[in-house]
Amino acid sequence: MSNNPDILRIALVQINPVLGDVRGNLEKARKARADAARMKADLVLFSELYLSGYPPEDLVLKPAFIRDCMSAVQELATDTEDGGPAVIIGSPYRDETGLFNAIAVLDEGKVQTWRLKVDLPNYGVFDEKRVFDVGPMPGPVNVRGVRIGVPICEDIWGELGVCETLAESGAELLLVPNGSPYYSDKMDVRQQVVLKQVIESGLPIAYLNQLGGQDELVFDGGSFVINADHHLAVQMNQFEEAVIVTTWQRGTDGWYCEDGVKANLPDKREANWRACVMGLRDYVNKNGFANVVLGLSGGIDSAICAAIAVDALGEERVRCIMMPYDYTSQESLDDAAACAKALGVRYETVPIEQPVKGFTSALSELFSGTNEGVTEENLQSRTRGTILMAVSNKFGSMVVTTGNKSEMSVGYATLYGDMNGGYNPIKDLYKMQVYDLSGWRNSHVPPDCLGPGGEVIPRNIIDKAPSAELRPDQTDQDSLPPYPVLDDILECLIEKEMAVSEIVEKGHDRDTVKRIEHLLYIAEYKRRQSAPGVKITPKQFGRDRRYPITNRYRNN
């Protein structure tokens, strides 16, 4: 640690907590602090609500949980009697005035002070006003003789002027603990938010973000420091755990951070892929599943999910099952086998002719006098779903479900069939994104991915026309517009909330847009019953987009 009052060494701890594992998170914090001490840090900064995990949702309404979190804070405070670095750590906090999203400042063996979050987000994936109370406008905290402002996440995103208030009340630099979830191009958004606050406050800002998957959300890290002169001094990796020490010096114009690590951030496709991988990996591991199973049909969606699963867990933890029926082509059988071989996964074939015909026989009297159609097609899908769930029950494997956002939008998925499963890594990827990422993965092996290099998704799967193969010569485009058209209409309806007339003005056929809007609305009940999946777009189904199931509104 520095004996120079004009030098401050701050460790940025970008690590992966487990929500609700207070003891485990505490032990991980202790290890990170010990690592920071070996690197001569004066102060260690952890992410928002690190000890509880983020977002804790209604878990914080349990008094025992809050007591456990605050007890862990006190234990970590006692550790600082050793003369090592001080600590700023996120935790829920309760006093006689309410329950707060807070940070604790720990030094010299005790909790020196708490600071409470002011701006509680209540949009998109956030619902903090449901469980937390609003804190008072904060002043800076004194750490080793330096006045530090600690706005918490949304405190720098909103318009309440928290950073300016801290600057006006004497803060010399700002450290921001965050729980900022990933979506595509989010890093650019974060840096612009921080730069705006640097300009308005005149202070340097260290932005520390959480890492790891938590149900639908992925926290990608990507922590960074921007100095008061707008210079990017430090950029940490996305999707990777790290503890780094930043060196700050006090000059004639105030504090500035010396240049440190400058990670090369992934481009959009790599970032989206790694988000899908991290989301699946952490969901499986944090929920205690030993392995996963999925149906491998020879189509693009199941192929990309198999590749993501292998990248997340390794080939030995992924089992793929082909379940052919009368309409399954030899091409699909060959493609599925080639994909499984390329990925190195366990691969088995379970024909479904016998159980499907058993269902149709059992229902023959009930269905007498009716024509075959979607009902009989769905029996195939539901038979496959039953087989996968049986394997899951027998061997403890989690079923990976494989529907993309285009299909989930318009209801082209079968409840209790191909929607069966515990988690869907491509739930928030449109069909054209699935194609794009599949081609990209064939020529790239991202960091931390466990799968092989080369063509892991056979080219024929990418090139052929997509089909559910539930009837002879079926293709998706029999009943849907081409996917580039469909995806653009869906993005306009979902992400941009555009009116039908506005979408038609873009050049789309009015009847087509109205039909897609109708399908989008009537499929809401299906989406409510779907497995969670990784958030990739700014408006994911579920947390981001909460539409009523019973809904007669249509616009023009």
Distance CA(214)–CA(55), nearest Å, equals 8
- In 344-395, which ranges are continuous DSSP H helix? 353-362, 374-395
Question: Model confidence at 31, in pLDDT bands (50, 70, 90)?
Answer: very high
pLDDT at 476 over 90: no
Distance CA(147)–CA(174), nearest Å, equals 9
Q: Is 376 a catalytic residue?
A: no
Instruction: Sheet with 205-209: list strands edge to edge.
Output: 141-143, 146-149, 173-178, 205-209, 224-226, 232-235
The one catalytic residue in 28, 69, 128, 153 is 153
Strand 205-209, strand 173-178: pairing:
parallel
Residue bearing tokens 């998170």: 25
Averaged pLDDT for residues 150-166: 92
Asked if residue 230 lies in contact with residue 198, where contact means CB atoms within 8 angstroms, the answer is yes
Q: What is the residue extent of each domain of the chain?
A: 7-261, 269-475
Between the alpha carbon of residue 334 and those of residues 54, 322, 408, 449, 452, the distances in Å are 44, 11, 27, 26, 20
pLDDT at 40 over 70: yes
CATH 3.40.50.620 for the 269-475 domain, yes or no: yes
Between the alpha carbon of residue 303 and those of residues 322, 340, 442, 453, 465, the distances in Å are 11, 8, 12, 15, 14
Averaged pLDDT for residues 341-350: 97
Averaged pLDDT for residues 244-265: 95
Residue bearing tokens 């401050």: 8
User: What are residue 220's DSSP bridge partners?
Assistant: 211
**Phi, psi (rounded to 5 degrees) for 148:** -115, 130
Neighbours of 501 (CB within 10 A): 11
Neighbours of 78 (CB within 10 A): 13
| pLDDT 10s digits, 314-333 | 999 999 999 999 888 899 99
Q: Is 117 a catalytic residue?
A: yes
| pLDDT 10s digits, 488-535 | 999 999 999 999 999 999 999 999 999 999 999 999 999 999 999 999
Q: What is the pLDDT of residue 468?
A: 60
Distance CA(529)–CA(129), nearest Å, equals 26
Asked if residue 254 lies in contact with residue 509, where contact means CB atoms within 8 angstroms, the answer is no
Q: What is the pLDDT of residue 474?
A: 53
Averaged pLDDT for residues 269-274: 97
Q: Is 339 a catalytic residue?
A: no
Collect all residues with Cβ–Cβ distance below 8 Å to 199 and sequence separation of at least 6.
230
The one catalytic residue in 28, 48, 407, 535 is 48
The one catalytic residue in 28, 69, 117, 186 is 117
Q: At 541, list the tokens.
A: 């189904």
Q: What is the pLDDT of residue 555?
A: 79
Q: CA 138, 142, 148, 152 torsion: positive or negative? A: negative
Between the alpha carbon of residue 400 and those of residues 176, 182, 290, 293, 335, the distances in Å are 36, 21, 13, 6, 19
Averaged pLDDT for residues 349-362: 94
Q: What is the pLDDT of residue 65?
A: 97
pTM, two decimals, is: 0.94
E-strand stretches of 184-340: 205-209, 211-214, 217-220, 224-226, 232-235, 242-251, 254-257, 292-295, 318-322
CATH 3.40.640.10 for the 7-261 domain, yes or no: no
Q: What is the pLDDT of residue 84?
A: 95
Averaged pLDDT for residues 537-549: 86
The candidate with the shortest Cα–Cα distance to 204, out of 238, 137, 239, 251, is 251
Averaged pLDDT for residues 74-98: 96
Percent of the chain with pLDDT over 70: 97
User: For all residues of the chain together, what is the average pLDDT?
Assistant: 93
Q: What is the pLDDT of residue 479?
A: 72
